[in-house]
Amino acid sequence: SGAQKIYDEMAKLCENLDWVSVEMQKDVPHVGVVKTGCQGLCELGPLMKIEPYDYQYVHVQVEDCKEIVERTVMEGEPVTRLFYRDHDTVCPHPSDIPFLNQQTRIVLENCGNINAESIDEYIAVGGFQAMAKAFFDMTPQDVIDEVTKSGLRGRGGAGFPAGKKWSQVARQKEKVRYVVCNGDEGDPGAFMDGSVMEGDPYKMIEGMTIAAYAVGAENGYIYVRAEYPLSVKRLRMAIEQAEAYGLLGDNILGSGVNFHLHINRGAGAFVCGEGSALTASIEGKRGMPRVKPPRTVEKGLWEKPTVLNNVETYANVPKIILQGADWFRTIGTEGSPGTKTFSLTGAIENTGLIEVPMGTSLRHIIYDIGGGLKSGAAFKGVQIGGPSGGCLIEDQIDRPLDFDSVKSLDAIMGSGGLVVMDENTCMVEVARFFMNFTQRESCGKCVPCREGTKRMLEILEKIVDGKGEMSDLDELEELATMVQSMALCGLGKSAPLPVISTLKRFRDEYEEHIRDKK
């Protein structure tokens, strides 16, 4: 959005304040310009916050910078025309903006608020206190018990209880164990984990270190997708800074705990988000899923017991250790405690990054936080969980959103991508888009997925091109059932979901395409 140019301009103006009149310079405080991670309001960027006044400016342009420095920084008076407006209400502070004030931020609490390249800022807001508490006040078993009690479920999609996974690794006979973080966020429309790695890399590093202590691992790997160069850069900086402060490495803080963290860059293959493909890729092999069992907790990375969680899961851990499992359980639902981050995209007024308690309804997310549909168009559906997920329609968006309720609606939570579609969206085209994606990303190891997705895509393309037959719909359904039940890994098993859910809810659109044959 041009934020870099604005940063450069502000840095230039604030570095040399000679251009400001002498009277004004008298009381000039030290003025610093800091780059933060994502503040969440993508739609309103470039964004600028002015501290200590807590002003939030939106849609800032380079031409505004001089006025901002003169008025806000020198005089403490805001440039009111840069405030966000909610109809007739002016919103000077982040807490006035409906998009922000209806969220509960645990994972994202520091994103957009601290300099993501300064470990000092993270420490200043309480960073690494949870790690110290775990190391000095708790045994590894206490840590596992606390995480188990909290009910934290893996945020990568399946929602497997994190504490259970950790305890399965901890009880293996093999003493060499690994902790791995899945930062290979590949769903189209999802950017939550990328934003966390860019905006607050320290929190997930702290969470991983606590996990390593709990299961007795001395080495950990963060697997980041190649398309996230800024995440890689900031994670590298964070690891170096933590090592320099004795917060990573040998004998951390004199506790006797050793933990070394490494970064692996993925090469952009969606299938490498699958656990066994991801660990194979770290080992330098081709990223292909394998038959399970053995499971990753028994034989994961280099055939050793491995804890594999995603970015958001680890980022939840420090707060759970610090504030306790009971506190965590006060947020969210009984079966899915805590919050969930979502990337809100598509035909919606306020696109961006959000975090809400589990159990929040999609209606609240779309209309109250997201500001409703663009240009007042009618709502048609929302794709949840990316290409592995499903499409939910009007009468399903009032259900409390958690791992179990989404499953009961034939969809999956996935990692948290939400793509909102309006009345002008062709649902057959949506199904074709996602099938094209999964077909291209199929690793080709097993026939049902390799061939099945190809045949399904051919049929969908035929229908979109106006050359389909009614019998194609039966074949599509048959193939979908076959691929779903016989594919080897999650990618193949879930690939037909967008077709299944659109066929179920928008069959008339498929039929219309066929009737309007060219």
Minimum distance from residue 277 beta carbon to ligand SF4 (Å): 8
Q: Which phi-psi region, left, alpha or beta, contains residue 57 (left: φ > 0; alpha: ψ -120 to 50)?
A: beta
**Residue 452 in tokens:** 């099945």
Decide: 432 and 387 in contact? Cβ < 8 Å: no
Compare residues 337 and 492 and give the one whose CB is closer to ligand SF4. Answer: 492
Strand-by-strand arrangement of the 379-384 sheet? 352-357, 339-346, 417-422, 379-384, 390-392
Compare residues 144 and 491 and give the one whose CB is closer to ligand SF4. Answer: 491
Binding residues for ligand SF4, how many (CB under 6 A)?
Answer: 14
Minimum distance from residue 308 beta carbon to ligand SF4 (Å): 17
Compare residues 454 and 517 and give the one whose CB is closer to ligand SF4. Answer: 454
Minimum distance from residue 485 beta carbon to ligand SF4 (Å): 12
Compare residues 124 and 447 and give the one whose CB is closer to ligand SF4. Answer: 447
Residue 344, classed as helix, strand or coil, is strand
Decide: 263 and 222 in contact? Cβ < 8 Å: yes
For every residue of 150-177, DSSP letters joined together read HT-B-TTTT--BHHHHHHHHHT-S----
What is the C-alpha to C-alpha distance for residues 481 and 496, in angstroms, rounded to an integer? 8
What is the C-alpha to C-alpha distance for residues 140 and 190, in angstroms, rounded to an integer? 33
**Residue 443 in tokens:** 């690793």
Minimum distance from residue 57 beta carbon to ligand SF4 (Å): 45
Minimum distance from residue 437 beta carbon to ligand SF4 (Å): 12
Minimum distance from residue 271 beta carbon to ligand SF4 (Å): 5
Q: Where are the beta strands (DSSP E) in 371-412?
A: 379-384, 390-392
Name the β-bridge partners of 379.
422
**Interface with ligand SF4 in residues 265-284 (CB under 6 A):** 271
Compare residues 296 and 345 and give the one whose CB is closer to ligand SF4. Answer: 296
- How many Å is the Cα radius of gyration of the chain? 24
What is the C-alpha to C-alpha distance for residues 330 and 364, in angstroms, rounded to an integer? 20
What is the C-alpha to C-alpha distance for residues 120 and 247, in angstroms, rounded to an integer? 12
- Whole-angstrom CA distances from 414 to 2, 75, 430 are 31, 48, 17
Compare residues 108 and 495 and give the one whose CB is closer to ligand SF4. Answer: 495
Minimum distance from residue 130 beta carbon to ligand SF4 (Å): 36
Minimum distance from residue 272 beta carbon to ligand SF4 (Å): 10
**Interface with ligand SF4 in residues 281-300 (CB under 6 A):** 289
**Interface with ligand SF4 in residues 479-498 (CB under 6 A):** 487-489, 491-492
Compare residues 210 and 443 and give the one whose CB is closer to ligand SF4. Answer: 443
Give the x/- contact pattern for ligand SF4 in 431-470, rule: CB under 6 A.
-----------xxxxx--xx--------------------
Compare residues 421 and 489 and give the one whose CB is closer to ligand SF4. Answer: 489
Minimum distance from residue 412 beta carbon to ligand SF4 (Å): 16
Q: Which residue is nearest to ligand SF4 (CB)?
A: 492
Name the β-bridge partners of 49.
56
Phi/psi of residue 259, each to 5°?
A: -155, 120
Q: Which of 194, 180, 184 is nearest to 270 (CA)?
A: 184
Compare residues 111 and 457 and give the one whose CB is closer to ligand SF4. Answer: 457
What is the C-alpha to C-alpha distance for residues 348 and 99, in angstroms, rounded to an integer? 12
Compare residues 167 and 442 and give the one whose CB is closer to ligand SF4. Answer: 442
**Interacting residues of 50 by C-beta distance below 8 A, sequence separation 6+:** 57, 68, 72, 73, 78
Minimum distance from residue 449 beta carbon to ligand SF4 (Å): 3
**Interacting residues of 254 by C-beta distance below 8 A, sequence separation 6+:** none
Please report, as ranges, the residues that interact with ligand SF4 according to CB under 6 A: 271, 289, 442-446, 449-450, 487-489, 491-492
